[in-house]
């Protein structure tokens, strides 16, 4: 297959790129899948398994097209550099350990795709297969690879589509990948082709990636359990300076640092969104006591009201005396003219 037509077939098929918690692919399900979906939790699990299987099959087909007609060679992992566009926010150590064990036991089933390094003679750059490359390094063995001469544009499209087909990228990883492409000078057409998404989903990805500071995104990580809706809620909150400052403070707390990626996102969203308690109005207070300290009277003014508290040994008795003599005290108050001062 010529380099010109390398990606022509794989860019025709659109995959779901929005990764919304409430969206669906829109594809018509088979009667069996429809029945399974109607069976509640069991149906949801079955549909999830079917979706994963379909994604895995799509990834295999995509890789087959990209690797078609090319010779598989063995390369020393030390000669291969990572892609010039980052598409990951960390990796699952358990999943990687399982991959290493599988390759150790069965060998590397599928080759990775590399290209001659554009700037360093004699070296290569990974297009896709970063985890398989890392596993080969961990096992100190050569990595099986196909070498193709790709342009930077072809590189990022193949990289993004292979990851999207596998459903390995979470929503925020897709968003950051899109942002990195734009920052590297690529237009939205390349973003759409690399992630197999339309203009609307491209705008949503970039909106979230631009509204959430990268430091906060990297502190949270991939959060694979959450899609567009949750990240969009956080992005909306972080448009305000006060919420953004609070988020930077929260990611330093022990409760955040000790959580996994999904928990970090949930914690940050709930904490930033929590309504702040209204500040209590200042209450002016004055105290009075006679020289023998037998009574302590505290008067607190709040707005147009005033409350008095009587304490010390004679406080209660003094308060009751005032209460019993309010009529005479009020008449004295009026005769003093003090009632006119509030007009």
Per-residue pLDDT tens for 61-90? 555 565 565 688 999 999 999 999 887 787
Residue 48 lies in a domain: yes
Residue 175 inside a domain? The answer is no
156 lies in a domain? no
Residue 35 lies in a domain: yes
Q: Please check whether residues 126 and 106 belong to one and the same domain.
A: yes
Residue-range definition of the domain harbouring residue 91: 70-150
Q: Is the pLDDT of residue 108 over 50?
A: yes
Residue 81 and residue 63 in one domain: no
- pLDDT band (50, 70, 90) for residue 293: confident
- Listing from the earlier edge strand, what are the strands of the sheet with 284-288? 284-288, 296-302, 305-311
Helices 152-166 and 188-195: crossing angle, nearest 10°?
40
Q: Which two tokens stand for residue 224?
A: 């694979």
Structure token digits, residue 124: 């290569």
Same domain, 44 and 106: no
Last residue of a domain, one of 126, 150, 174: 150
- Of 17, 42, 67, the residue at which a domain comes to its end is 67
Residue 145 domain flag = yes
The pLDDT of 208-224, averaged and rounded, is 94
Is 136 inside a domain boundary? yes
Are residue 74 and residue 146 in the same domain, yes or no? Answer: yes
Tell me, yes or no, if the pTM score tops 0.95: no
The per-residue pLDDT for 179 is: 94
Q: Please check the confidence at residue 39 and state whether its pLDDT lies above 80.
A: no
Same domain (yes/no): 43, 54: yes
Q: Looking at the domain assignment, is residue 76 inside a domain?
A: yes
């Amino acid at each position: 297959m010529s380099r010109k037509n390398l990606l022509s077939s794989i860019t025709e098929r659109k995959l779901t790129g929005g990764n919304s918690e409430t969206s669906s692919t829109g594809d018509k399900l088979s009667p069996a899948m429809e029945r399974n979906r109607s069976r509640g939790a069991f149906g949801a699990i079955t549909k999830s398994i079917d979706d994963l299987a379909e994604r895995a099959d799509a990834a295999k087909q995509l890789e087959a097209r990209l690797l078609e007609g090319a010779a598989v060679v063995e390369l020393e992992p030390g000669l291969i550099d990572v892609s010039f566009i980052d598409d990951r926010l960390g990796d699952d150590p358990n999943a990687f350990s399982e991959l290493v064990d599988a390759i150790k036991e069965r060998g590397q089933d599928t080759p990775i795709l590399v290209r001659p390094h554009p700037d360093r003679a004699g070296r290569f750059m990974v297009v896709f297969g970063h985890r398989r490359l890392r596993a080969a390094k961990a096992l100190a063995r050569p990595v099986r690879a196909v070498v193709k001469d790709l342009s930077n544009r072809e590189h990022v499209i193949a990289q993004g589509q292979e990851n999207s087909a596998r459903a390995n990228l979470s929503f925020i990883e897709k968003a950051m990948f899109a942002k990195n492409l734009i920052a590297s000078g690529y237009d939205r057409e390349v973003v759409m082709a690399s992630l197999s998404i339309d203009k609307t989903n491209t705008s949503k990805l970039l909106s979230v990636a631009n509204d959430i500071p990268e430091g906060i995104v990297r502190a949270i990580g991939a959060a694979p359990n959450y899609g567009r809706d949750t990240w969009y809620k956080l992005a909306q909150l972080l448009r305000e300076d006060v919420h953004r400052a609070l988020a930077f403070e929260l990611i330093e707390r022990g409760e955040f640092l000790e959580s996994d990626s999904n928990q970090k996102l949930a914690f940050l969203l709930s904490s930033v969104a929590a309504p702040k308690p209204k500040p209590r109005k200042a209450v002016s207070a004055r105290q009075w006591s006679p020289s023998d300290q037998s009574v302590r009277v505290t008067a607190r003014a709040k707005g147009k009201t005033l409350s008095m508290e009587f304490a010390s040994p004679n406080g209660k008795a003094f308060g009751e005396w005032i209460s019993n003599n309010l009529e005479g005290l009020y008449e004295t108050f009026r005769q003093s003219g003090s009632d006119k001062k509030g007009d």
